[in-house]
Amino acid sequence: MSEIPVVGLREPCPCGSGKRYKACHGKARNRDAVAHVTRPFEGLASECDWVAFREIVPAATAPLTLRDGTDRRVILTTVLPLAWPALVRDNGDVYLALQVTTGSGDASRDAADALLRALESEPGTPVPPVGLPGPGPRLQDLVADVRLEVTIHDDFDYWMADEASADAPGVRDSLERANSKVMPTVRLQSVDSAYWVRMGDKVFLRWVRPEPEEKLLDAIARLHAAGDSALPGVPSRFIGSFRADGLLVPVWELTDGSAAAETEAAAVDFGARLAAALEVAEPLTSQERRARAGLQNRQVTLR
């Protein structure tokens, strides 16, 4: 297939079949482009935070290091104005967003395509969505194996760091809409990839976990059946989990509205409980199986 040139979807296929490209070799290319990847960020350092950036964090940034050794400054972010996949600042810095409105079945390939286009763009240029990217490198091929250093922002004012982005049509309206919807969020410091968030008058802790889903569900079911699924030391209740980019995200409601700092020790203690439960090899008891079934029934899948 690599020997067949890529042409417009409605043009005759270069293979000489007499069919349009979209019905011939373009069909296979399109199928490859949209093939679903269950864990698109698997293999990247801080996979759980990559998932959080795409699915649950409103405003955050983290510097990236490119595998090719260049010193080009690339910053991962959650979202950009007008849902741009990427933006090149006036000074040449590249901002790469994960929360985009369109894409293939592989978020890593989509982001890699946007990054490559940004690296070839002029300073002060937004990188718009262009449809399915087709086969090509993924983030795992472009980004060095370095853990993310996450910075949470209270708003999206960092979008306005230079005049080019600030003056682009629609950007200020986009900023106003985005800032009106920002939920106060804190990334806990004592454990990995746990995010405290205030939603209206309620407070939650959402913790992206790296373990295989079936094993993690067994461990949480053991704790839930024993009455140990709440966060120790703070008034809370475990309310379920959701699946995002192939990982499970357990969620607790902090029933008294505890602040993020008050949740740090509780997260450490629960992490130790969970680690012990993950080590248990015995089959689930009947009570634990019922607890697991209840947990699974409350699951939702974001992507």
Percent of the residues in the chain that have a pLDDT greater than 90, as a whole number: 68
In this prediction, residue 1 carries a pLDDT of 38
pLDDT over 60 (residue 32):
no
Mean local confidence (pLDDT), 42-53: 97
Report the distance separating Cα 125 and Cα 94, nearest Å. Answer: 10
Question: Which range has the worst mean pLDDT, 154-168, 180-194, 241-255, 264-278?
Answer: 154-168
Average pLDDT value for residue range 15-23: 70
What is the C-alpha to C-alpha distance for residues 219 and 221, in angstroms, rounded to an integer? 5
Question: Domains along the chain?
Answer: 47-180 (no CATH), 185-301 (3.30.1460)
pLDDT of residue 28: 56
The 10s digit of each residue's pLDDT in 111-168 is: 999 999 999 999 989 999 887 887 899 999 999 999 999 999 999 988 876 655 556 6
Q: Are the beta carbons of 51 and 38 closer than 8 angstroms?
A: no
**Helix 213-225 vs helix 260-279: angle between axes, to the nearest 10 degrees?**
100
CA dihedral over 76, 82, 83, 85, signed as positive or negative: negative
**Cα–Cα dist 185/229, whole Å:** 23
C-alpha distance from residue 13 to each of 27, 30, 130, 131, 136 (Å): 10, 14, 22, 20, 21
Whether the Cβ atoms of residue 246 and residue 253 lie closer than 8 Å to each other? no
71 and 112 in contact (C-beta within 8 Å)?
no
Per-residue pLDDT at 2 exceeds 50: no
Average pLDDT over residues 221-245: 96
| Predicted confidence (pLDDT) per residue in 191-231, tens digit | 999 999 999 999 999 999 999 999 999 999 999 999 999 99
pLDDT band with cut points at 50, 70 and 90 for residue 53: very high
Cβ burial of 214 (10 Å; 0-12, 13-18, 19+) is exposed
- Report pLDDT digits (tens) over 55-110: 999 999 999 999 998 889 999 999 998 889 999 998 999 999 999 976 788 999 99
State the pLDDT at residue 302: 65
Residue 164 carries which side chain, given as an amino acid letter?
A
Are the C-beta atoms of residues 187 and 194 closer than 8 Å to each other?
yes
Could you tell me the pTM of the whole model? 0.86
* H or E stretch covering 288: helix 286-297
Q: Give me the pLDDT at residue 250, please.
A: 96
